[in-house]
Amino acid sequence: MKLTKLQILLILSILTINLNAQKISVRTTLDSAAMVIGQQSALTFQIDQMPKVKVLTPLFSDTLPGGLEIVGLPKIDTVQADDGLISIRQRYVVTAFNEAVYTVPELPFIDGSDTVFSNSVSIKIIQPFQIDTVTNTFADIKTVMKPPFDWAYFFKIALLVLLIIGILVAVIFIFIKIVLNKKVITLSRPPVAVPPDVLAIRELDKVRAEKLWQNQQVKQYYTRVTEVVREYIAARFEINSMEMTSDEILENLVELKTDNLNIFSELRELLQTADLVKFAKLTPLPDQNERALQSAYSFVKNTPKIVAAAEIQTNENLKK
């Protein structure tokens, strides 16, 4: 049988009215059917409704209808359902302290002009202890709980004890060693200063052993030789030869020219040759390389004698 358009519209209207009539539903659940006095359980109101619809829910102070006590504030969650509705869950933590059966009655939830009632739920509160009505002694709701071992507190106390022991040991040590005039610290002897000429000879021996110019490292060779000589001059004559040019070093050693012209000339030739190698890329002959090292040896070995002789001469002039 074919349906007319009017019949189809009537069927759709009836379905719409049914959908609107079922646009809100409320279900009440309790996590436990029974619990011991003082324990806690969760009471949940699940409201399935259309989105963006304001539903008026019952308000509670600290006790639910039926006698269950509310612990803390409710927790409210909203979940989107597959059928286009939303589920709002109001979760209350409840407890009771009397042995009885508590019933949460049907409660009204108002959606505009419609009122929907939740289902009622019950829970049995159990007294687990035998009450002595003769001696009227009181019993705890729960057994005494042994707290867990506090490792953090244990380590704090242990560190404090170790610190106190360390302080006591230090005090006793100081008392024995200092108060009783005993040495606490053994002073080491100061290192013996190596004379500048001895130190310079050691470094020149190292340069000879490295064989730099024989391995085509002529620039590094002259750099090493002149560094040893400059360090020796700085230590022997107390001038900042490491920061001076070759000409400035020779100007500061002008008295050496008077005392020993040969030594002064060898030093001047060494410094000038080194400058030409480092800055003018001069390639000296092998015998020049050997003479440069010998000049450095000669300068280091002979300057202490020259300086000593100059000091003796100066002292004799002062006596006169």
The pLDDT assigned to 18 comes to: 43
Identify the three-state secondary structure at position 238: coil
Q: Which residues contact 60 (CB under 8 A, 6 or more apart)?
A: 70, 92
pLDDT interval class at 93 (50, 70, 90)? very high
Instruction: Give the distance from CA 123 to its chain's centroid.
Output: 53
- The one-letter code for the residue type at 183 is K
What are the E-state strand segments in 50-168?
A: 69-80, 86-95, 100-104, 108-111, 114-117, 121-126
- Note whether 43 and 104 are within 8 A (CB): yes
Predicted TM-score of the model (pTM): 0.40
Evaluate if residue 190 carries a pLDDT over 70: no
Can you say whether the dihedral through the CA atoms of 85, 90, 91, 96 is positive or negative?
Answer: negative
The pLDDT assigned to 9 comes to: 44
Crossing angle of helices 218-237/261-279, nearest 10°?
A: 140
Evaluate if residue 66 carries a pLDDT over 70: yes
Instruction: Give the distance from CA 113 to its chain's centroid.
Output: 62
Is residue 94 packed enough to be buried (19+ CB in 10 Å), middle (13-18) or exposed (0-12)? buried
**Which secondary structure element, helix H or strand E, spans residue 316, and what is its range?**
helix 286-319
Model confidence pLDDT, tens digit, residues 202-256: 999 999 999 999 999 999 999 999 999 999 999 888 888 888 998 888 888 877 7
The pLDDT assigned to 10 comes to: 45
Crossing angle of helices 196-210/286-319, nearest 10°?
A: 180
